[in-house]
Structure formats: C-alpha cells, structure tokens
Structure 1
Amino acid sequence: MQLQAIPFHGTTISAAQDGDTIRVALRPACDAMGIQLEAQYKRLGRTPWATMSMMDMTGADRKTYEMVTIDRRTFTMWLATIDTTRLKSDRARNLVETFQREAADALDNYFHNGGAINPNATEHQMRALMFQTQAQMELCQAAKGLIHPDHLEAKARIILARGLGEHATLDPNRAPLYTKDYLKEKGLSTKNLRSISPTFGKRLKAAYIEKHGIEPEKRPMNLTNSQVKHVNAYTEADRPLMDAVWEILNPTPHLTVVA
C-alpha cells in the first residue's frame, strides 16, 4: 500500500487506503507527536478496542517497509485517550492536544471529502453523528481566543468522547470551576447565595490578581433565562484560592478549652 503524507500543523499523518479502511502508520504518528512508539504499542495491545496490523507500506522514497498500522477507529480512540498531562515537553503536549482536536477530521476529510454515504441505516446514523461532532469541534476551533483554553479543551474532549460513545478523560485541575457552583457546594440557601456571591466574587478576583499578577480570563456561562453572561474563568486548580477566600468570609469557629 502507498503511504500518503497528510499535512497537519507543520507535521504529517502517514496513512493509506486499504479498501474501505484507512490505516495509519503508528511510528510516524508517534514521532510527529513526540511520544514513544514502544509504550503506545504496548498500551494499545492491552485495550479491547484497538485493531493493529503489520503491513507492507511504500514510502515516498519508493522503498517498502513493514509497519505497525491502526485503523481509523483505533486512531481516533487512541488520540482521545492519550493523557497529555503526562507529557513533559510543552511542544509535544500542545501538538498532541491539537491532534486530539483536529486530526481525526483532517484524516477523514482527506480520504472521504465528497464520498458517498453508505445507505445502511446504522451507518447513516454513525455518519450523522460524525458530522455533528465535526461541526461542534469546528465551533470549538473558531472559539479559540474567545474562551478560556482550559474550558475550551474540556468542551472539545467531551464532544469527541460523546462521538465515540465513551466517557471524556479530563485533567481534574484544568476542569472549569464556576464560583456559583463552588458556593452551591457550601449548602447555602438561595437568599444567602445571592447575598454572598458579589462579595465572594470581588475578593476572589483580587486574590487571583495578587497571586498571578493578571486578571482572570472570561468565559461565557448559560443562564437559566437562556441569556449568556461572561464570568471570570476559574478551574479546579483555583479551588485552594477559593477555599482561602471562603475561610476569610466565613472563619471556622475555634473552641476555647477552659482548664
């Protein structure tokens, strides 16, 4: 099979068409993302959903190489399950996250742009879901610079996982944490929540600026009346800061022991 080099953000995805199946060469994909082939090969071998094959591939140099390949379904699942927090290199982490958001679409568009849809009902439903997922991912891509990166990444992971019928793997420290949700965790009544929210928000913003030297970014939040309000963007990594502000506003009473 003839390998095709699909351009992608300064690197390439090496893949080939095998009948109705797209096969991705695993080593070039690992090299492009800066991760070790051996570790990924072993990890894929332990999963029930991975399909790997040894195939003869002809490269751009016209030479034939025996390569480990994975099909498109495995490729998409593999991308979604790579934990980028374990990658030490910033370049590798950023590239893998980019791959997670866009590579499956790039691969599909390259081979199937303008292709016919299988008339089988189940296949039609699968493709409809794929197109819906692609549209949602494109919206996430268009929102870069407008929405906090952590919030955007969480949204993208959830969309991709939903399209695969899986649960999203999110970095807990980068998951969005709204001040409203934090205060709800304290068991406040609606009246007390409305009363304390403005003061808590101002104190938290001041504490964030004091700690980081910049104001928190903004992110849109859907309100119950269908309106959208832009609020300060915090994540689970900011929970200790919220705890500190909460403690100032609601100090824990100390018992005095009388001898």
Structure 2
Amino acid sequence: MFLQSIPFHGTSIAAAKDGETIRVALRPVCEAMGIDYTAQYRRLERTSWAVVAMMAMTGADGKTYEMVTVDRRTFTMWLATIDTTRLKSDRARNLVETFQREAADALDNYFHNGGAINPRATEHQMRALMFQAQAQMELCQAAKGLIHPDHLEAKARIILARGMGEHAELDESRRPLYTQDFLKEKGLSAKQLRSKAPTFGKRLKAAYIDKHGVAPEKRPMNLSNGQVRDVLAYTNQDRDLMETVWAGMNPTPHLAVVA
C-alpha cells in the first residue's frame, strides 16, 4: 500500500487505502500529536474493539516499511479515548483536541473527495505544496533502476493526482503485491505465517522463473525493527500464480464416493 501524507494543521496524517478500508499509521500520528507511541499501542492491544494490523507501507521515499496501522473506525474511537486533561503541554492538548474534532473529516475528504486542501490556504502554502510535489517527482526520477518500474509509475501518478486534488488512476494489475500480504489474506495466524512463508516464497519464485524465464526483481523493505531486507517484487499481475502455488501447498481433499 502507498502511504499518503495528509496535511493537517501544520502536521500530517500518514494513511493509506486498503481496498475500501482507510488505514492510519499509528506511530507517525502519535509523533505528530506529541504523545507516546508505545503506550498508545499497548492500550490498543488491550482493547477489544481495536482493529490493529501490521502492514507493508510504501513511503514517499520509495522504500517499504512494516508499520502498525489502525482502521478509520478504530482511529476515531481511539482519539476519543485520549484524556487531554492529562497532557502537560498546552500545545499538545490543543493539537490532540483538534485531531479529535477534525481528523476523521480530513481522512474522508482526502480519500473520497480528492484532497484535503484547506480552503484558507495562502499562496505561500500552495507554493510549498507545489515544490513538495516537484521534489517527490525528482526523487522518483532518481530512483529509476533502483525501484521496480511498476512501483515508480504508481507513485508518480499518486504525486500528480495529489497535486491536482484528484484521485490517482492506478492500474490495479501493476500494484505491488507482497507475499506476506497475500498470505495474510488467507487468514493465517502469526505462527502459521512464519511456518508457511519460506516454503511459499521458494515455490513462488520457482514458478515465476518457470513462467517468465527470469527471476523476479528485488526491492528493499524497511522492517519495523529498523532493519532493511530485500524482498522479491511481485505485483497483482502475479496473483493468479500465487493462487496456483498456494493451492499446490494446500490441496483440497477428495471425498470417496461409496456406491
């Protein structure tokens, strides 16, 4: 998923669209509000209504990070539970209260109405946004040959659409698809994921080479522990191949028919 930086009262909300679900990266929003990420993460882990998931997010720098995310519903409920009277800083208190009042609307405006540009934005602010988009496009140009071309094209489309206040028109078949995300879609537990992922990855790579005659490209992924790992770069075009490999690892049992 491509991480979007949504401008919000001098800070930003890091979020992404996962199908029809809006997901917010927890650590960046905690840091933006000036509250402790670890304490908030532990609170959410203890809460029955919270939907918390580790997702692979691709940032503006073209790198992929494993980030703790919450869905929109959890995000708004979590914000409402923060007791601002316990915050020592007036700035932090005012900012958290602003998040509580307006963050959900900013998310909806950005992902459903094409942007979250403040109608009172000054010419200076608009120029700053334009220069930011220009710098991001230059980064995409510099990353040619280092990053998978499908990813670069998708990122460039997002940057252009954001600058024009529109939705990015992406070719879904060329959207990056990580093996970890594919396996998570199968409803595997963390233990099952650790057990099946190595074998699935090896068989998928072999099937890809057998089909295309070349090995899949690699791209760097930043893990939640700060380490960087090269992972094979698949896209949604390879989903059918993944399904075939998955079916081969999990054959459907045949029932004997007794006459």
CA distance in 1, matches of 2:125, 2:148: 32
Match of 2:251 in 1: 251
Q: CA deviation at 1:255?
A: 3.0
1:13-39 Cα shifts (integer Å, max 9, x gaps): xxxxxxxxxxxxxxxxxxxxxxxxxxx
2:144 partner SS: coil
1:224 partner SS: coil
Q: CA deviation at 1:162?
A: 1.9
2:220 partner SS: strand
Extract structure 1 runs of 4+ deviating beyond 6 A.
Answer: none
Match of 1:170 in 2: 170
Does residue 218 (structure 1) correspond to residue 256 (structure 2)? The answer is no
Q: CA deviation at 1:222?
A: 2.7
1:104-161 Cα shifts (integer Å, max 9, x gaps): xxxxxxxxxxxxxxxx952211111111111111111000001111011111111222
Q: CA deviation at 1:165?
A: 2.1
1:188 partner SS: coil
Gaps of 5+ in 2: 1-119
Matches for 1:19-168 after TM superposition, within 5 Å: 122-168=122-168
Give the structure with higher Rg (CA). 1
Amino acid paired to 2:197: S
The 3 A distance-change label for structure 1 pair 188 and 128 is same
Gaps of 5+ in 1: 1-119
CA distance in 2, matches of 1:235, 1:194: 22
CA distance in 2, matches of 1:166, 1:138: 20
Percent identity between the two aligned chains: 79
1:220 partner SS: strand
Normalising by structure 2, we get a TM-score of: 0.52
Amino acid paired to 1:237: Q
Q: CA deviation at 1:225?
A: 2.1
Amino acid paired to 1:123: E
Task: Please give the root-mean-square deviation of Cα atoms over the aligned residues, in Å.
Answer: 1.5
Amino acid paired to 1:199: T
**Larger RCO (alpha carbons 8 Å, 6+ apart):** 2
Amino acid paired to 2:157: R
Normalising by structure 1, we get a TM-score of: 0.52
1:202-252 Cα shifts (integer Å, max 9, x gaps): 110011001101010111223222333221110100011101110111112
2:122 partner SS: helix
